[in-house]
Structure 1
Amino acid sequence: MNLDHVFVCGSPALDFAATLRARRSLRFEMFVAPDRLDAWFLESGIVDAISPAEQADVEGAKELREAVYELVTARRLEEEFPAGALASVNAAARKPAAAPQLTPAGRWTEATPQEALSTIARQTVELLSGPDVPLLKECGNPQCTRIYVDRSRGVRRQWCGMDSCGNKIKAAAYRARKKSGQAAASH
């Protein structure tokens, strides 16, 4: 059940915030229905099983996602946290989170959508109060608004991911160089 969710940000909280793509232009919404939210929780690895979400869970997820994005953006830009976003994340973090269980086969986490959202909120708290804050960057693709943790050697990563953005930008730059080279040669 792969629904084109991408996990390139280095943190489930950041990948969650990236489920509204191209915020400055097209605004592509990943959570269009409850089953898409369920799929994201499963594909992200936050849970192994999820009770089916309802439309109210989708609306709650979108609200939390926007709060996470606002807080991450504020921290990245070294600005004050917006009070409403801070209240939303903290309220979700106070609720019961998804609890992993040990089974004969290993770790297993079964949760409700609310427990999964609490887990995301808690991960956001840990991220924004932890050592990775200086590594937060926004993708260099002008169309992309993903924020990621740059753990690359030298902290020089420019894109959220090579497959999702880096290759597109490099290919476009190559085509532009080739086109300008051909134009110069014809003059």
Structure 2
Amino acid sequence: MNLHHVFVCGNPALDFAATLRARRSTRFEMFASPDRLDAWYLESGVVDSVSPAGQSDVELATSVREAVYELVTARRLGEEFGEAALAALNDAARKPAAAPQLTRAGRWTAATQEEALATVAREAVEVLSGPDVPLLKECGNPECTRVYIDRSRGMRRQWCGMESCGNKIKAAAYRARKKTAESAPAH
């Protein structure tokens, strides 16, 4: 498993929720250290610079991430929101968010850890209350638990991303068909 963050979900909050990978099996934690949280904020484009995270920042971000995942799953399945998850998300979203500034070089957003997390939390509020709710889908790979916004024609997208899951599933299906064909008795 690589250590680079992946952004295939169509929304920063959904990509944030996907930083705990393979929730139903091996559970791979992308925020294994404070510098990995910092890297996510920068790689996602949520902010251009962020104050260095400490372990408490990772713990808070992880708890908000789990709240986002729980709320996204509830929304996708048409279930009621859990009170604790709502409180965790709203508490983070209530904090001041990162404010972009105009510089001679263009737009620049510097943030504290709290501001970066508030920015992601506000993205979650928007995606969970906006027009994309009917487009939320979970990846068709049974090992993957990413939820993405399906903007494909006819809502036919099956995987979070071809590079990450689609190719793996297609290759496995091909190998299974080939093995079945090779083991079938010739007529």
Question: Could you tell me the TM-score, scaled by structure 1's length?
Answer: 0.97
Secondary structure of the structure 1 residue equivalent to 2:180: helix
Q: Which residue of 2 aligns with 1:14?
A: 14
Q: 1:50 & 1:121 partners in 2: Cα distance?
A: 16
Structure 1 residue runs of 4 or more that deviate by more than 4 Å after TM superposition: none
Output aligned runs, 1:4-43, within 5 Å. Answer: 4-43=4-43
Secondary structure of the structure 2 residue equivalent to 1:143: coil
* Count of aligned positions: 186
Question: Could you tell me the TM-score, scaled by structure 2's length?
Answer: 0.97
Kindly state the Cα deviation for residue 185 of structure 1 after the two structures are TM-superposed.
4.3
Task: List per-residue Cα deviations over 1:92-149 (Å, max 9, x = no partner).
Answer: 0100101100111111000011100000110001001100000000000000000000
Q: 1:104 & 1:68 partners in 2: Cα distance?
A: 36
C-alpha contact (below 8 Å) 1:3/1:39 kept by paired residues: no
Secondary structure of the structure 2 residue equivalent to 1:60: helix
Instruction: Please tell me the residue identity of whatever aligns with 2:133.
Output: V
Q: 1:165 & 1:61 partners in 2: Cα distance?
A: 26
Q: 2:30 & 2:56 partners in 1: Cα distance?
A: 16
Q: 1:17 & 1:72 partners in 2: Cα distance?
A: 9
Q: 2:113 & 2:182 partners in 1: Cα distance?
A: 55
Secondary structure of the structure 2 residue equivalent to 1:102: strand
Instruction: Please tell me the residue identity of whatever aligns with 2:167.
Output: N
Output aligned runs, 1:67-82, within 5 Å. Answer: 67-82=67-82
Unaligned stretches of 5+ residues in structure 1: none
Output aligned runs, 1:144-183, within 5 Å. Answer: 144-183=144-183
Kindly state the Cα deviation for residue 3 of structure 1 after the two structures are TM-superposed.
3.5
Instruction: Please tell me the residue identity of whatever aligns with 2:21.
Output: R
Kindly state the Cα deviation for residue 4 of structure 1 after the two structures are TM-superposed.
1.2
Q: 1:164 & 1:133 partners in 2: Cα distance?
A: 23
Q: Report % sequence identity.
A: 77
Instruction: Please tell me the residue identity of whatever aligns with 1:75.
Output: R
Q: 1:86 & 1:156 partners in 2: Cα distance?
A: 30
Q: 1:170 & 1:108 partners in 2: Cα distance?
A: 41
Instruction: Please tell me the residue identity of whatever aligns with 1:44.
Output: S
Q: 1:185 & 1:40 partners in 2: Cα distance?
A: 52
